[in-house]
Chains A and B, each alone.
Chain A
Amino acid sequence: MKYVYLDYAATTPMDPEVIKEIENHYRETYGNASSFHTMGQKAAQILENSRETVASFINAKTDEIFFMSSGTESDNLAIKGVAFKSKERGNHIITSAIEHHAVQHTCQYLEKQGFKVSYLPVDEYGLIDLKELEETITNKTILISIMFANNEIGTIEPIKEIGEIAKKHDVIFHTDAVQTLGKVPIDVEEMNIDLLSASAHKLYGPKGVGLLYIRGHGVRKGWGKYIEPLLHGGGHERGLRSSTENVPGIAGFAKAVELCKRNMKEESEKLTKFRDKIIKEITENIEDVYLNGHYTKRLPNNVNLGFRYIEGESIILSLDVEGIATSTGSACSSKSLEPSHVLLAIGQKPEDAHGSLRITMGRYTTEADIDYFLEKLPPIIEKLRKMSPLKKGKKYMFDPTYETDQHH
C-alpha cells in the first residue's frame, strides 16, 4: 500500500548518506575519544571535525558546540544549568506559554526550587509581544528562553529582536531551535543567541544526538562561568557534559548538517510551495476549517489546521487507515488528555483545540504525496462530521448536572 509520511516534525527518516557515515564509524572509529592511542585520537579527530561542521552552520565558534544526547537534554542543561549557576545573580526566568514540554516542564520544576518564572502570553498567531518581554525583565532576570519556531503551529518568533533585548539588559538568551535547524538560516552572532538547542533526528540524522550551542563556551563578561553541568564524571565536553562521546552518532549529525547546508534553500522553497498549496486547497474546499499559526512567519514544512465539530485523533486514525501519517495537538492521541497548551495559548476554545491536524513535510515529500493527501482528506472530514452531533449553529444539549465522574 502507498505510504505517505507527513509527520517530519515528530521525527525524520535518516538520510542514506547519514546511515552510511554512521555505519562506517561504528565499524572503523570505535575508539574512545579520550584515549591516548591512535584509535582514540582518530575518534577525537572525527569529533572535532563534526563540531566544526555544525559550528559553521550557525556561525558559531567550534569550541561553543557541545554535543548532548537529545534536544530535551540540551534544553534541560541550558535552563537548569544557567539557573543553578547564576542564582546568586537572580532568580527570574522568562519563557513563553507555547514552549515544548522540555522547556516548559523544566521551568515548572525550577519554580518548585524557588525560581520565579514568567510565561509570556502569545497572540492569536503564537507570537510573543516584544514590548511585553522587555517590560517583564527585572534586575533579577537571568534567562530568557523562547523557542525559535513552534513545533505544533510552526510560528517563527522574532528571534533577532529578542536577542537584541536580551543583550541590552545583559540577560542570557536561550532558544529551542529543535524544529528550526536545517529549515531556516540561523546565525547566532547576528541574532544575539547565547544558548541554542537542537536535535539530529529532526534533520535526517540519528536519534539520541543533540547539541547545545553555548556562547563563550560558558564564560560571560561580568558573569564569569554561567552554566552548571547536570552530568558529572569524566569531564567530557569541557566539563559540561560528562559521558563518553557518541562519536558515530555525532558524525552522523555532522553529515546531516552538511546535507542541510547543501539542500536547505532548495528544500525550503519546495516545502513552502507544498505548504501553501495544502492551506489553499483545504481552506477553499472544506467548510469550517481554519489555519492555526501565522501565514508567513511560519516554518516552510508545517501546516496545522483546525476542523470544527470533529476530534483530531479520529482524523489521524482515518488518515492512517489510508496510509497517511499525520499528527495532532489533540489530547486523545497522546498520553495526556489535556488539549494542546499551544492551541489554548493562541486563544482557542478547548472543543476546537481538540480538532487540530498537523501535517509536517520534509526532504522525501513529493507533489504526488500532497495530492494523495488532498484527495483522501475531504471524504474523511465529511464522514466524521456526519457522525458528530456537533453541527454549525446547533446548540448541543449538554446537561451540566451530568456527573462526568472519571472524565476530567
Chain B
Amino acid sequence: MYSEKVMDHFRNPRNMGEMKDADAVGEVGNPVCGDLMYIYIKIKDDRIDDISFQTFGCGAAIATSSMITELAKGKTIDEAMKITRDDIAGSLDGLPPIKMHCSNLASDGLRKAIENYRAKQKKE
C-alpha cells in the first residue's frame, strides 16, 4: 500500500518531538478527522535553522510530517513557503490516492508555522 520511502519515514521518523524553544508552531488537522499535526520551527537569518514535528495520524500523516522536516531544513522561509503537497508526496515516491488530500497536511502545517512566525515578528 505504501512506498518503501513512506515506510522508511514511518519507521524512522526524522526530527520527531516537541521543540520547547521553538520560534513558532503551526498546527493543522483535527483529531476528530483522525489527523493532527504540529510543526515547530526555529528561524535564524530568515532561514529554517531547526524544525521538528509531532503527529497524531495514520502512516501517511507521520511520513509526510517527517519528510517536510527534511525538505524544509536550511531553506529560507520564502523557499519553505513554496513547498507543496505534491512536492512531499513526490519525495516519498507517491502516496495512495485517498491519502493525498486527507493526510498530506504537512506543507500546510509548515506554512502555518511560518505565518505565525511572521505575525509574531510584526508585533515585536
Contact = CB atoms under 8 A, between A and B. Distances in A.
B27 A406 contact: no
Contact of B16 (A318, A387, A398): A387
A311 B56 CA distance: 6
A27 interface: no
Interface string A329-352: 011110101010000000001110
A131 interface: no
Interface in B1-45: 2, 7, 10-11, 13, 16-18, 25, 27-38
A321 B11 contact: yes
A1 interface: no
B29 A407 contact: yes
A396 B10 CA distance: 23
B59 A317 contact: yes
A70 to B, nearest CB: 24
A88 to B, nearest CB: 44
Contacts of A185: none
A407 B102 contact: yes
B27 A311 contact: no
B29 A404 contact: yes
Q: A interface, by DSSP: helix, strand, loop or mixed?
A: loop
Interface string A376-388: 0000000000111
B95 to A, nearest CB: 12
A49 interface: no
B58 A408 contact: no
B33 to A, nearest CB: 6
A311 B102 contact: no
Contacts of A397: 25, 27, 38
Given A317-B10, A407-B105, A332 B30 contact: no
Contact of B36 (A317, A318, A332, A396): A396
A129 B35 CA distance: 34
Interface in A292-329: 309-311, 313-314, 317-318, 321
A307 to B, nearest CB: 11
Interface string B50-88: 000011111111100000000000000000000000000
A310 B99 CA distance: 18
A354 interface: yes
Nearest to B55: A387
Nearest to A353: B34
A333 B99 CA distance: 10
A21 B36 CA distance: 51
B101 interface: yes
B103 interface: yes
Contact of B59 (A313, A331, A404): A313
A374 interface: no
A408 B30 CA distance: 10
Given A317-B59, A387-B13, A389-B55, A337 B98 contact: yes
Nearest to B25: A397
B98 A311 contact: no
A135 interface: no
Q: Which of A339, A386, A387 has the most CB of B within 10 A?
A: A387
Contacts of A390: 31, 36, 56
B13 A314 contact: no
A397 B24 CA distance: 13
B30 A398 contact: yes
A407 B101 contact: yes
B36 A407 contact: no
B31 A354 contact: yes
A132 interface: no
Contacts of B103: 332
Interface in A40-97: none
A355 to B, nearest CB: 9
Given A310-B56, A337-B102, A404-B29, A332 B34 contact: yes
A281 interface: no
Given A337-B102, A387-B54, A398-B36, A321 B27 contact: no
A332 B63 CA distance: 14
Interface of A: 309-311, 313-314, 317-318, 321, 330-333, 335, 337, 339, 349-351, 354, 386-390, 396-399, 402, 404, 406-408
13 contacts: A314-B57, A317-B10, A330-B58, A332-B35, A337-B102, A350-B32, A389-B36, A397-B38, A404-B29, A404-B30, A404-B33, A407-B105, A408-B102
5 nearest interchain CB pairs? Answer: A332-B58, A351-B31, A313-B58, A389-B54, A406-B101
Given A332-B58, A404-B30, 17 more contacts: A309-B56, A311-B57, A313-B59, A321-B11, A332-B61, A351-B34, A387-B16, A387-B55, A388-B56, A389-B55, A390-B56, A397-B27, A404-B33, A407-B30, A407-B35, A407-B105, A408-B102
